[in-house]
Structure 1
Amino acid sequence: MRKLSGIFLVGLCVGAIGAVAITIGHGAVRPPRASAATEAVTTMSESARPSPEPTPTPSAPPKETPQETPKESAKEQPPSKVDAAELDRLVAGGEVSAVVFDRQSGAATLSVHADRAYTSASLVKLLIALTVLDRGGPTADVQRMLSRSDDDLASRFWSAYGGPAIVTAWAKKIGLGGTRAPADPGRWGDTRITAKDVVKIYQYVLAHAPAAIMSALRAATERGSDGFRQYFGIPDAAGGRPWAVKQGWSCCAPTRMLHTSGVLGEDDRYIVVVLTEHPASVSYATASKRVTAVVSALLG
């Protein structure tokens, strides 16, 4: 593979290559594969829930305390390089896509398998939130859906605000070339996405969406409403830098999806998207560590 390099995180450099990008439930229907993509399809239903493996569900519900944002900028670091093959090795037996977009320069500093298609798991909740708020829906419930990745609220909104039409409308408005509505209209987590398109969603949210969405992503709780620990990836690898995230996870046979996406750095400088697919034999705990290792590699 060719070496990738580029600047990331207040002077951090990581490589860029182009081409090909990245809640739950058991898929009954497998959507057509994207050309040159090798990943299997997992799905999400309104009734299914994964069994959180990283740590047991706490007896008391997690506190929804927003993270504290550091006031000092991250220290300048020397340039670093990341190899596309290295990212692939970090997700052994699976698939990985990553895009880092520098909002200051207006360009991606890294792009690995950016057009590769994955099932969205909870990342589609960003489009659901945009729809509900555009139509004057309940802001507090939208924020809870995002910060705690609440599936019940997502299912309620999906049914009340158009189902698959939510995806197709935003794909057309934002220009999401690789995003597709689920084949089964009731399974919102089966929405197909790419890392390139998720970056576009964040660009729109940061520029045009109500501030309530980013506020919810900054207040993401350590555990989702199902008890799953959602601080893998960007939060665990941030190293004291300010972040805001929307995470995604889904199961089961034959694969698991774990996605980390959001903004990182002062003034939300970097949009970071890492989409991954793992064999079902890989536990959630191991897969979570692999996603964090990918983000750590991107940060050098």
Structure 2
Amino acid sequence: MRKLSGIFLVGLCVGAIGAVAVTVSHGAAPQAVAVAETVTTPSGTPTPTPTAEPEPKPTPEPEKKAETKAEPAPSQELGARVDAATLDKLVRGGNVSAVVFDRQSGKTTVSVHPDRDYTSASLVKLLIALSTLERGGPVADVQRMLSRSDDDLASRFWTSYGGTSIVTQWVRKLGLTGTRPPADPGRWGDTQITAPDVVKIYQYLLDHGPKAILAALRAATERGSDGFRQYFGIPDAAGGRAWAVKQGWSCCRPTRMLHTSGVLGDDSRYIVVVLTEHPAGVDYATASRRVTDVVAKLLG
């Protein structure tokens, strides 16, 4: 602050004291007052007090337009445009059957050669697992049998928990129409199956089956206990979708079987079953690629 003359300062103080005395004597409540202050420069020329600028008026917000949301495109059903001829070309010289069931809509979206029957290979392990757990068998070993497709464990459970009666029990319980036990009671892998029946087995597993079975299918290892790479088909074609699978492979009586089955997508929405039979001259690597191509075509 600049220096002021003594006389002026004394006068200013006396005036202020008087103003306070008057205010107190009237007993009025203090109020906030805007004061315009004038400062005197050394030359005695008063500096004009800056005038208060008018408060800016708020700018009215532009009127919001009603948002229009685009209608969502109708969902494409999985595999809805796939036909038998397309899949047959992918499995040259062999046979293919495919069924896709949408659990959300309750509809079968793909049904290609559904009545063909195949040797089950390891897909019958789903029924072996159900019977074993139903009768109090070891959960951890059942899960290992499924996730690693362990044949030794499957043979042990097959013998201990009913043999061919395992198949006939679940045929009656689930209403399977194309499934029958093997002609040779000791060869569980020769159980006969169809794609629609495998779908029914998964429907039961999802709605009523022990959770340990689906947990094992979600934890399927890339290689089975025999070293075979079992990520062909659904796992290789899933493209980031969640999956749980049971795979099957066998050779050569007299042909090569390669099957992929399981559930796919959020909340296991789709049940996907692809059963294939290849000439013995088609190696496993080629057959595996063909099965993956079939599933990729189903997924669009």
Question: Structure 1-normalised TM-score?
Answer: 0.74
Question: 1:83 offset after TM fit, Å?
Answer: 2.3
Residues 210-266 of structure 1: CA deviation (Å, up to 9, x unaligned):
100000000000000000000000000000000000000000153100000000000
Describe how 1:115-130 pairs up with structure 2 within 5 A: 115-130=115-130
What secondary structure, in the 3-state scheme, does the structure 1 residue paired with 2:248 have?
strand
Whole-angstrom distance in 2 between the partners of 1:239 and 1:223: 19
**Partner-residue secondary structure (3-state), 1:258:** strand
What are the within-5 Å matches in structure 2 for residues 68-107 of structure 1? 81-107=81-107
Residue aligning to 1:132: 132
Structure (1 or 2) with the greater strand fraction: 1
Give, as a single letter, the amino acid of the residue that structure 2 aligns with 1:241: R
Q: 1:13 is paired with a residue of what secondary structure?
A: coil
Which structure has the higher relative contact order (CA within 8 Å, separation 6+)? 1
Q: Matches of 2:160 and 2:75 in 1, distance apart?
A: 45
- Counterparts of 1:213 and 1:119 in 2: how far apart (Å)? 22
Q: Secondary structure at the match of 2:108?
A: strand
More helix by share: 2
Pick closer, same or farther for the CA change 1:219–1:14 going to 2, 3 Å.
closer
Q: Please state how far the C-alpha of 1:114 moved relative to its aligned partner.
A: 1.0
Letter in 2 for 1:13: E
Where does the alignment leave 5 or more consecutive residues of structure 1 unmatched?
A: 1-9, 17-80
* Structure 2 unpaired stretches of 5+: 1-73
Give the superposition deviation at 1:15: 5.3
CA RMSD of aligned residues (A): 1.1
Q: Call closer, same or farther: CA 1:232–1:177 in 2, change over 3 Å.
A: same
Q: Does the CA-based 8 Å contact 1:102-1:271 persist in structure 2? A: yes
Deviation by residue 1:171-229 (Cα, 9 ceiling, x = unmatched): 00000000000000000000000000000000000111110000000000000000000
Task: Give the 5 Å matches for 1:259-298.
Answer: 259-298=259-298
Task: Quote the offset at 1:14 in angstroms.
Answer: 4.7
Q: Distance in 1 between matches of 2:236 and 2:255?
A: 23
What is the SS of the residue equivalent to 1:82? coil
Q: What CA deviation, in whole Å up to 9, does each residue of 1:52-81 have, x standing for no partner?
A: xxxxxxxxxxxxxxxxxxxxxxxxxxxxx2
CA distance in 2, matches of 1:233, 1:11: 24
> What is residue 225 of structure 2 aligned with on the other side?
225
Percent identity of paired positions between Structure 1 and Structure 2: 79
Does residue 13 in structure 1 map to residue 77 in structure 2?
A: yes
Q: Distance in 2 between matches of 1:140 and 1:134?
A: 14
Which structure is larger by alpha-carbon Rg, 1 or 2? 2
> Contact 2:145/2:153 (CA < 8 Å) preserved in 1?
yes
Superposition deviation, residue 13 in structure 1 = 2.8
TM-aligned CA distance change 1:297 to 1:98, over 3 Å = same
In the alignment, the residues of structure 1 paired with residue 136 and residue 78 of structure 2 have an alpha-carbon distance, to the nearest angstrom, of: 41
CA distance in 2, matches of 1:172, 1:128: 15
Indicate if the aligned counterparts of 1:102 and 1:108 stay in contact, CA closer than 8 A. yes
Taking structure 2 as the reference length, the TM-score comes to: 0.74
Q: Give how far 1:140 is off.
A: 0.1
**Equivalences, count:** 227
Correspondence 1:56-71 to 2 at 5 A: none
